[in-house]
Amino acid sequence: MNQVYENYTPEDQEVWGILFNRQFKNIDLSATKEFSQGAAKIKFTPEAIPNFEETNKYLKELTGWQVTAVPGIVDDDKFFELLSNRIFPATTWLRTREQLDYLEEPDMFHDVFGHIPLLANQPFVDFLQGLAKIGLKYLDNPWAIHLLSRIYWFTIEFGLIRENGELKIYGAGIISSPGETKFSLSNEPEHLAYDIEAIIDSSYKKDSFQTKYFIIENYEELYSSLPLIEQIIEDRLKEQPVSKVK
């Protein structure tokens, strides 16, 4: 599947601009510095929906990664295969003006605005690729994939980082959500140190704000945790719970 750029309507471009300006202003002081730096490096602007061909030229030089168009959420095997080959799958459809504040399924604003700028950060993408390789190893074990999804959820999607003593956002699920941007940094949820065992033992919900967020000190911490992630998953598989996946 390709991104057919000429199919975007003037309204699509306008919606992108509205979403971009609203959320970039919202996260200007809240997101990791790597996000705004990455967005600048790959030339993201509110004036135009990103053209994947152009974006890929910048990413290729920065980290060797690429973006590919997909129709929607892809199966685990395809998802991990793409990431292991340094390819990030992103949908190309954009919400309508009537859907500015809520969607049940992630659109390209989440996939592209939320995720792609951090693909310019080498330790981050090395971690992403490493997670995918672990996923490919355990594709035939639903419990292992479920445990791995918790790591992905509480890092790539909903992770926080401490920069110069202040909490900042790097998870794409927060970055693309005005409401969760404010909530995640408030005193309402739990803020916990990055802990693989605690994350693997933490369930999550997709239809509400998180009740807890895990904080890394730097992106190298993510990458260096990969061996421990695999080891703990192996340990959990030995226990092989009889209860249903929750």
**Domain count across the chain:** 1
Helix (H) or strand (E) holding 11: helix 10-27
Q: How far apart are CA 2 and CA 143, in angstroms?
A: 33
pLDDT band at 103 (very low <50, low <70, confident <90, very high): low
> Does residue 244 sit within a domain?
no
Q: Which residue did the predictor score with more confidence, 104 or 200?
A: 200
| Cα gap 198→94, rounded to integer Å | 35
Cβ–Cβ < 8 Å for 95, 109: yes
Q: What is the pLDDT of residues 42-73, one digit of tens each?
A: 999 999 999 999 999 999 999 999 999 998 88
In a domain, residue 173? The reply is yes
Per the listing, tokens 């973006």 go with 67
Domain containing 117: what range? 5-238
Let me know if residue 15 belongs to a domain.
yes
Q: Which residues are annotated as a binding site?
A: 110, 115, 157
User: pLDDT digits over 123-177, tens only?
Assistant: 999 999 999 999 999 999 999 999 999 999 999 999 999 999 999 999 999 998 8
Residue ranges for the known binding site for Fe cation are: 110, 115, 157
**What CATH number should be reported for the domain holding residue 51?**
1.10.800.10
Residue 32 CB neighbour total at 10 angstroms:
25
Q: DSSP of 22-76, one letter per residue?
A: HHHHHHTTTB-HHHHHHHHHTT-BTTBPPPHHHHHHHHHHHTS-EEEEESSPPPH
Task: Quote the pLDDT of residue 246.
Answer: 46
- H-only helix segments in 42-192: 52-62, 76-84, 108, 122-137, 142-152, 172-175, 178-184
- pTM for this prediction: 0.92
